[in-house]
């Protein structure tokens, strides 16, 4: 199986039950986008490709006047997901545009560069608020979904505190 960046998230979400491309995007936006984003422009072509490879099956399920196709995982798709989950490679790759901007912040006047760090702090605080709202909702997530949610809350809590500490450090070093 040829794998793209969205293959694991599509197969993983379909392992939970049948979903349309729109449903997958909705779930991604409420869950994995904090660490593994996927756009409509990635999801729909991936669903077609996975269907061609026999890893998912699609069924037309119109919703009113709108066309809708619902996909479910095949046994071959479930096997591909399990192979990926149990595979020997575990790559920790983190794409973070905000951090990349900070890396090149010396190209800006200092106050603007500090503004990038302040914006990052606010981003962590906003994500933390969203994740806490997810945590507070009714219902119970499976253990490992909850585990990743806790990682996200801890990471963003730490990220906001780190940004504040660095803002203070950089402001003091400027004054010296």
Q: Where are the chain's structural domains? A: 7-85, 97-175
What is the CB neighbour count within 10 angstroms for residue 134? 16
**Measured CA angle at 42 (ends 16, 54), to 5 deg:** 55
Annotation: CATH topology of 7-85: Arc Repressor Mutant, subunit A (1.10.10)
**What pLDDT score was predicted for residue 176?**
64
Tens-place pLDDT, residues 29-52: 988 988 899 999 999 999 999 999
Most confident listed range (1-10, 145-154, 157-166): 157-166
Residue 73 above 80 pLDDT? yes
Segment 9-33 shows an average pLDDT of 95
Residue 67 above 90 pLDDT? no
Concatenate the DSSP letters of all residues of 31-96 into one string. TGGGTS---HHHHHHHHHHHHHTTSEEEEE--BTTB--EEEEE-HHHHHHHHHHHT-S--------
Residue 70's H or E segment, with its range, is: strand 69-73
Q: Is 118:167 a contact under the CB 8 Å cutoff?
A: yes
Find how far residue 84's CA is from the centre of its chain. 18
Cα radius of gyration rounded to whole Å, the chain? 20
**What pLDDT score was predicted for residue 95?**
83
Confidence of residue 28 (pLDDT cuts 50, 70, 90): very high
Look over the chain and give the mean of its residue pLDDT values, rounded to a whole number: 93
């Amino acid at each position: 199986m040829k794998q793209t960046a969205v293959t694991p998230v599509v197969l993983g979400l379909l392992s939970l039950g049948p979903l349309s491309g729109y449903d997958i995007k909705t779930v991604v936006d409420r869950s994995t986008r904090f660490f593994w984003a996927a756009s409509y422009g990635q999801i729909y072509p991936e669903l077609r490709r996975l269907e061609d490879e026999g890893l998912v099956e699609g069924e037309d399920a119109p919703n009113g006047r709108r066309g809708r196709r619902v996909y479910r995982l095949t046994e071959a798709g479930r096997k591909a997901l399990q192979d990926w989950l149990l595979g020997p490679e575990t790559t920790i790759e983190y794409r973070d545009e905000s951090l990349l901007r900070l890396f090149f912040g010396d190209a800006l006047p200092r106050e603007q560069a500090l503004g990038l760090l302040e914006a990052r702090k606010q981003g962590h605080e906003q994500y933390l608020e969203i994740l806490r709202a997810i945590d507070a909702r009714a219902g119970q997530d499976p253990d490992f979904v909850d585990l990743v949610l806790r990682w996200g809350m801890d990471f963003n809590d730490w990220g906001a505190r780190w940004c504040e500490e660095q803002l203070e450090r950089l402001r003091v070093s400027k004054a010296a």
